[in-house]
Every structure is written in C-alpha cells, then in structure tokens.
Amino acid sequence: MMIAMIAGAIWGGVAPATAQSALTVAPLVSLAEHRVDAGFGVERSLGPVVGGVGTLRFGPRLAVAVRALGGSLFGSKGVLDRDVGELGVEGSMVAGPWLSLQAGVARRAYATRVARQTWTTVAAGAAARVAFAGGAIHGVGRAALLPVVSVPGLPDPGVAFRAAAGLEYRIRGTTLGVEYSLERYDFPIEGGVRRLEQLTALTLLLRLRPQ
C-alpha cells in the first residue's frame, strides 16, 4: 500500500514574526535528498515533498505552527525507494527585532517496501530575519539543535542539528520563500558501525493570509 501522505520532512519553521494576520497558511514544495550510511555504503534517495504549514499568531510575539509534509524519495542505483512523511508542531517567540526563539516536536516516518522507521525529534533553536531595504525582502537563517531524537532500534545520535538559509519576498499579502535546509544525524558507533543520516532540501513556500 502506498502511503502517499507520509514523506520526509524537510522544511520546518513557523511564519515570520512580522506577519500581520492571525492565521497564515503556506503550501510548500521541496526537492529533498536523503543520505544514509548504515555500514553498507552511502544510500542516496531524492524526490519531491509537498505539504503545508499553518501558523496561528497569539499577539505580536507568539506564534504556533503546525506542519504536515509528505513525499516519495527515489533511491539511486540499488537503493530502495522510500516514502517519507512528517507531522510537527513548533512554537516561536519573538526575542528581538530580528531574532525569534523556536522550539518544536515532530514525528517523522520513513517507509520502504520492506520496513518502516519512525523518528521522534525535539528541536530548540533560533531564527534570524534580516530585512533588505524597504522591508519587502527578508533574508532568513535558522539553526536548531535536536537534543531528543528517538528512533526505535537506534541509540541517540551524538550530533543532531538542523540549519537553513533562505529568502522571503513579500508581494502584497503573499510571501514567496525559498530556502535551503540541512539536517544531520551522527549516531554513535555500535557494533563497529557508525550510522550517519542526512536530509537536505530546497524548498519553495507560498505564505497566504486568508481573508
């Protein structure tokens, strides 16, 4: 059975703190690449991910975003195709004119025709937004540590972080974003094997304000 709705999570984050509307919705599309080395060489898969982020603002400083993403990653030669999906919730609090603090939890699933793996992650980090002159364009940078990464059958990774950089273009009530993001997980050596995983994505996002 094809699990269409479950795909890899690539892009995360809440809407910018400067958004004016209480509620924004942002459909997105990503080109994601997943690399994993579990002791059998590097397995690489690449594919599209689609989804959306809904953000609800509570006053000028606080926002909560819920995201749902899914897609299929197609394996390179000899690598199984996999579906990936993610559901996540993230809170954001404005800490300054250009800085906001973010924390969230996400549940991600990878599924191949032979196995299924579920990840639970907790992230804590910050997002910086730099306005270009005029304020219609913003440069966005994000960084977060993932102190909790729970994967059945695997130990906690020693290194787990997420980073992203991109741009947002505001045209009237709509914001178009483009972002490059990377997640990296370095698990400790176990049985002489060190498992490494990495997810990168190029994401296009369109943030809309419902009337």
Partner 1 sequence: MRRLVWAAALVVGVAPALAAQGSTGELLAQAHQFYERLDVERALPLLRQIVSPNWPFEVTPDQRVDAYKYLGACLALAGKRDSAVLYFRAAIERDPFTELDPSLFTPAQLATFDEARHRTLAVAVRSVKPARVDPRTARVTFTVVATHAALVDVKLVAVGAASPLVLFQGTMDGVREIAWDGLLANRRLAPPGRYTLAVVGRSRVSGAADSARVYFDVRHEVAALEDTVPDLDQHQLLPEWISPEAARRDVAKGVGVAAAALLIAGAANGSLHGSERGGADVVAATAAVTGVVAFLVHRRHGAIPENVAANARHRAQRDSANAGVRARNADRIAATVLLVSPAAGEGTGP
Indicate whether 28 belongs to the interface with partner 1 (CB under 8 A): no
And the tokens for 36?
Answer: 């994993």
Among 7, 65, 106, 201, binds partner 1 (CB under 8 A): 201
Indicate whether 115 belongs to the interface with partner 1 (CB under 8 A): no
Considering beta carbons, is residue 6 or 73 the nearer one to partner 1?
73
Indicate whether 100 belongs to the interface with partner 1 (CB under 8 A): no
Among 7, 26, 200, 205, binds partner 1 (CB under 8 A): 200
Contacts of 104 (CB under 8 A, 6+ apart): 12, 65, 88, 89, 90, 91, 122, 123
What is the distance of C-alpha 86 from the center of its chain? 9
- Closest Cα partner for 2 from 64, 78, 85? 85
- CA dist 70 and 29 (Å) reads 10
Indicate whether 42 belongs to the interface with partner 1 (CB under 8 A): yes
Radius of gyration of the chain (CA): 17
Residues of this chain that interact with partner 1 (CB under 8 A) are: 31, 33, 35-37, 42, 46, 130, 132-137, 139-141, 163-167, 178-182, 184, 186, 194, 196, 198, 200-202
